[in-house]
Amino acid sequence: MSGAAGPQPPGPRAGGRVEVVCGPMFAGKTEELLRRVRRAEIAGRRVEVVGHALDTRRGAGTVSSHSGFATPSRTARDADDLERLVREAGPLDLVAVDEAQFFGPGLVDVVQRLADRGLVVVVAGLDVTFDARPFEPLPALMALAERVDKLTAVCAVCGEDAAFHVRLAAPTGAGDPGDPLAPVAAHVGGAETYEARCRTHLPDPPWRGQPGGGGAGASSTSGTNE
């Protein structure tokens, strides 16, 4: 574990890894992300925090948690933009990416490339949609990460651990198509729009439909004759 000295050889560099912090809304994901950022800064590491352009809760240039903890950040529009931003930032030890679900499937390869270059990449985001389906790219990132912390919120009905969240309000129309997978700013919303729920108090999850009806767990289309 000696410090980097001399020219770096091409190819993967030691020390890189991927850490995923995931869960439903209100699980404290951003707070945990920023806790790791703060620890790295205390250790003298060079850190960059990157948020998504859709997250405008505290204005551009700041990543903040529901509990009010905030840190200066850069803003990226997509995964390619994130990679360019990190390249231009100069030498870094740790990159923290918030609201990772907005960056799309391209984030998986970008994060692996950054880790290959020796960076610690901490990615925080929703791994589940408000209708209880896997929310890519977090599930893929979880599979390829060295460390995964799946946090839970507190069920708004009974107080048990909540791995899900539900949407309370109907779609508002403009800019909010009501699609759980759509990358729109409305999905960053706060306590007034969403509620954390445990499994027992989750209304209408897809897997309680008809057997073989194409719920979240239905992955194979072969072998069905209708």
86 vs 204: CA distance, rounded Å:
41
Q: Which residues touch 218 (CB under 8 Å, ≥6 apart)? A: 212
Can you tell me the distance from the alpha carbon of 71 to that of 41, in angstroms, rounded to the nearest whole number? 12
Q: Which CB, 102 or 164, lies closer to Zn ion?
A: 164
Closest separation between CB of residue 209 and Zn ion, Å? 21
Is 198 annotated as ligand-binding?
yes
158 labelled binding-site residue: yes
Draw the binding track, 162-201, toward Zn ion (x: CB under 5 A; -: no contact).
------------------------------------x--x
The nearer residue to Zn ion, 135 or 164, going by C-beta atoms, is: 164
- Dihedral sign, Cα of residue 34, residue 38, residue 39, residue 44: positive
**Rounded least distance, CB 183 to Zn ion, Å:** 28
For residue 66, the number of C-alpha atoms closer than 13 Å in the C-beta half-sphere is 14
Which of residues 142 and 163 has its CB atom nearest to Zn ion in the complex? 163
Any known ligand binding at 23?
yes
Cβ density class 83-109: b for 16+ within 10 Å, e for less: bebbeeeeebbbbbbbbbbbbeeebbe
Rule CB under 5 A: which of 106-165 touch Zn ion?
A: 155, 157-158, 160
Q: How far apart are CA 74 and CA 131, in angstroms?
A: 30
Q: Catalytic site residue 48?
A: no
Residue 201 annotated as binding site:
yes
Q: How many CB atoms lie within 10 A of CB 111?
A: 28
CA 106 to CA 159: how far, in whole Å? 36
Residue 150 annotated as lining a ligand binding site: no
What are the backbone dihedrals phi and psi of residue 36, each rounded to the nearest 5 degrees, phi first?
A: -70, -35
Tell the smallest beta-carbon distance from residue 5 to Zn ion (Å).
54
- As measured in angstroms, the least distance from the Cβ of 210 to Zn ion is 25
Nearer to Zn ion, 119 or 155 (CB): 155
> Exactly one of 19, 32, 99, 195 is catalytic; which is it?
99
| Annotated binding-site members for Zn(2+) | 155, 158, 198, 201
Which residues of the shown chain bind Zn ion in the complex (CB under 5 A)? 155, 157-158, 160, 198, 201
Task: Cite the active site residues.
Answer: 99
